[in-house]
Homo-oligomer: A and B are copies of this chain.
Amino acid sequence: MWKGDQAMKKMTIKDVAEALGLSPGTVSKVVNNSGRVGDKTRKRVKEYVKKHGYVASANARILKSRLSFTIGVIFSDISHVGLEHPFFASILQSFKTAVEERGYEIVFIVSRVGENELTYYQWCRNKKVDGVLIVMGNINNPNIQEVVQSEIPCVSTDIVMDNLQSVISDDKEGVRLALDHAENLGCEHITHITGPTSSRGFAERAAAFSREMEERGLPLPDEAVEIAEGFGFTSGYNATLKHLKKVARPPELILAGSDELAFGIVRALESKRLRVPEDIMVMGYDDIKFAKHFTPSLSTIRQNKEKIGRLAAERLLSAIEERRPKRKEITKVPVELVKRQSTGRG
Chain A residues proximal to chain B, CB less than 8 Å: 1-7, 10, 53, 55-60, 62-63, 68-69, 82-84, 86, 89-90, 92-93, 96-97, 100, 103, 105-108, 110, 112-116, 118, 122, 125-128, 145-146, 149-151, 163, 233, 263, 267, 289-290, 293-295, 325
Is there contact, CB below 8 Å, between B233 and A1?
no
Is there contact, CB below 8 Å, between B7 and A150?
yes
Residue of B nearest to A267 (CB): B293
Residue of B nearest to A127 (CB): B58
Residue of B nearest to A109 (CB): B105
User: Contact partner of A86 among B69, B86, B103, B112, CB < 8 A?
Assistant: B86
Residue of B nearest to A11 (CB): B125
Kindly list chain B residues whose C-beta atoms are within 8 Å of the C-beta of A295.
Answer: 294-295
CA distance A2 to B149 in the complex (A): 5
Is there contact, CB below 8 Å, between B107 and A107?
yes
- List 10 additional A-B contacts (Cβ < 8 Å) besides A59-B128, A86-B86: A1-B145, A1-B149, A3-B149, A7-B125, A59-B60, A59-B68, A83-B83, A89-B89, A96-B108, A103-B114
Is there contact, CB below 8 Å, between B146 and A1?
yes
The smallest beta-carbon distance between A278 and chain B, in angstroms, is: 16
Is there contact, CB below 8 Å, between A122 and B293?
no
Kindly list chain B residues whose C-beta atoms are within 8 Å of the C-beta of A145.
Answer: 1
Residue of B nearest to A232 (CB): B289
Is there contact, CB below 8 Å, between A113 and B151?
no
Is there contact, CB below 8 Å, between B55 and A113?
yes
Is there contact, CB below 8 Å, between A4 and B151?
yes
Kindly list chain B residues whose C-beta atoms are within 8 Å of the C-beta of A58.
Answer: 113, 126-128
CA distance A99 to B282 in the complex (A): 41
CA distance A92 to B96 in the complex (A): 16
CA distance A263 to B291 in the complex (A): 12
Kindly list chain B residues whose C-beta atoms are within 8 Å of the C-beta of A89.
Answer: 83-84, 89
User: Contact partner of A103 among B5, B115, B150, CB < 8 A?
Assistant: B115
| 30 contacts across the A-B interface (CB closer than 8 A) | A1-B145, A1-B149, A3-B149, A3-B151, A4-B151, A6-B151, A7-B125, A10-B125, A55-B122, A55-B126, A58-B126, A58-B128, A59-B60, A59-B62, A59-B128, A69-B114, A82-B97, A83-B83, A83-B89, A83-B90, A83-B92, A84-B86, A86-B86, A100-B110, A100-B112, A103-B113, A267-B293, A290-B293, A294-B295, A295-B295
Kindly list chain B residues whose C-beta atoms are within 8 Å of the C-beta of A112.
Answer: 100, 103
Residue of B nearest to A100 (CB): B110
The smallest beta-carbon distance between A105 and chain B, in angstroms, is: 6
Point out which of A83, A93, A125 has the most chain B C-beta atoms below 10 A from its C-beta: A83
Residue of B nearest to A92 (CB): B83
The smallest beta-carbon distance between A55 and chain B, in angstroms, is: 5
Residue of B nearest to A151 (CB): B7
Kindly list chain B residues whose C-beta atoms are within 8 Å of the C-beta of A10.
Answer: 125
Kindly list chain B residues whose C-beta atoms are within 8 Å of the C-beta of A92.
Answer: 83
Ordered nearest first, which 5 A-B pairs have the shortest CB separation?
A: A295-B295, A82-B93, A83-B93, A2-B149, A59-B63
Is there contact, CB below 8 Å, between B105 and A108?
yes
User: Contact partner of A90 among B84, B103, B128, B293, CB < 8 A?
Assistant: B84
CA distance A106 to B82 in the complex (A): 14
